């Protein structure tokens, strides 16, 4: 018996450096934060190994320093609470991914730039949806429809209608990015598939005040007043009005506004079929959702974790489809392409209106039905 135990220990020691680190980083989808750590406490199971490794504060410090370096957070102040949150999130991600790789979950989580933040911190600093667009008076879609049935699946990225993933930074400007992305798609649709990069900063500075009640800059905004601005004024380009992530005085006077919507319309609330019709026939749609810690930690697959609660974040629905018997929405976020699956998430569709994705959805394409070629 002693010989057998010794042989197993020798085998595991052989795996303790590069192979061990690779297994842990693979489980966490963490891009090498455990590389070259040379730990001594481990087992053949990566989850058990991680728990043992993180019981040593020295290892936690090393992994945390690697994380901060890889995610360009070294200029931010560190704290014991953020380090503790980081450790908690690592164990949560590893536990979930172990289930996913055993066929017990349809999506994986991963380490990202928010892994040292609590969900309350993420929501307060990186979301910003306020209000409900259905409180506003929006037009209904044109009756000039030639196709009554939307396609079974669609990904508007494949048709050049979706602009690159942006990053709202630490400002509650998610609505402004969602609406801008919607208008960019509408512009591309109506200008021979020529893309444009529009100025979220203009909305942050100018779609505010008495004419746009409910909008509060980096403290959050609503669909109604923001869509009203791009109907009333339009939006200039990023080159003309670059994003700083800080609200300032409006500088839109005298600038050209090449992109504008003639109108916008709210889609029937909490009706996923109506949302499918809008996305499938009219293109990308701005939607508000509820995000929680599972959503923030998403990396790949079809997200179907419980996420009930009030809507707190705005994103863009750019398509839909099915995978492994599960219907899903393709959703574009604005937390940079290092978040999620290249900046996107697949969210379970026809699953009880998951995260209330159809609770407040607005299209900036009131009159152009898309014919697929």
Active centre residues (catalytic)? 174, 313, 333
At 89, give phi and psi (nearest 5°).
-65, -35
Contacts of 20 (CB under 8 A, 6+ apart): 34, 39, 42, 49
- Tokens representing residue 177 in the block: 């990015």
SS3 322: strand
**H/E run at residue 108:** strand 107-109
Q: Which two tokens stand for residue 179?
A: 């609406």
Cα 31 to the chain's mean position, in Å? 19
Using an 8 Å Cβ cutoff, are 321 and 328 in contact? yes
- What is the DSSP code string of 289-305? E---HHHHTEEEEEE--
Angle of helix 80-101 relative to helix 46-53, nearest 10 degrees? 170
Q: How many Å apart are CA 338 and CA 99, to the nearest integer?
A: 23
Q: 46-53 and 18-28 are packed helices; what angle lies between their axes, rounded to 10 degrees?
A: 100
């Amino acid at each position: 018996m002693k010989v057998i135990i010794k042989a197993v220990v020798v085998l595991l020691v052989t795996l303790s450096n590069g192979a061990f680190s690779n297994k842990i980083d693979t489980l966490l989808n963490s891009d090498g934060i455990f590389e070259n750590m040379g730990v001594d406490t481990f087992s053949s199971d990566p989850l058990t190994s991680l728990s043992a490794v993180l019981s040593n504060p020295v290892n936690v410090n090393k992994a945390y320093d690697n994380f901060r370096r890889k995610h360009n957070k070294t200029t931010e102040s560190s704290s014991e609470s953020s380090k503790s949150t980081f450790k908690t999130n690592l164990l949560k991600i590893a536990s979930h991914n172990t289930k996913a790789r055993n066929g017990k979950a349809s999506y994986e989580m991963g380490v990202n730039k928010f892994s040292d933040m609590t969900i309350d911190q993420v929501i307060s600093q990186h979301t910003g949806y306020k209000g409900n667009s259905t409180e506003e008076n929006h037009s209904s879609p044109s009756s000039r429809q030639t196709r009554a049935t939307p396609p079974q699946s669609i990904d508007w990225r494949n048709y050049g209608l979706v602009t690159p993933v942006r990053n709202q930074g630490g400002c509650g400007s998610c609505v402004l990015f969602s609406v801008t992305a919607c208008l960019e798609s509408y512009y591309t649709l109506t200008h021979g598939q020529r893309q444009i990069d529009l100025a979220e900063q203009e909305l942050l500075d100018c779609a505010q005040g008495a004419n746009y009640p409910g909008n509060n800059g980096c403290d959050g905004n609503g669909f109604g007043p923001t869509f009203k601005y791009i109907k009333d004024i339009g939006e200039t380009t990023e080159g003309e009005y670059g994003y700083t992530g800080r609200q300032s005085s409006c500088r839109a006077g005298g600038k050209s506004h090449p992109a504008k919507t003639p109108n916008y319309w709210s889609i029937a609330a909490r009706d996923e079929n109506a949302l499918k019709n809008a996305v499938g026939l009219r293109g990308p749609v701005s939607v508000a959702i509820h995000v929680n810690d599972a959503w923030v930690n998403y990396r790949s697959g079809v997200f179907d974790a419980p996420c009930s609660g009030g809507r707190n974040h705005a994103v863009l629905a750019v398509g839909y489809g099915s995978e492994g018997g599960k219907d899903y929405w393709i959703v574009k976020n604005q937390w940079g392409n290092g978040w999620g699956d290249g900046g996107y998430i697949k969210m379970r569709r026809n699953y009880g209106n998951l995260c209330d994705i159809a609770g407040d959805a607005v299209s900036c394409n009131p009159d152009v039905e898309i014919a697929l070629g």
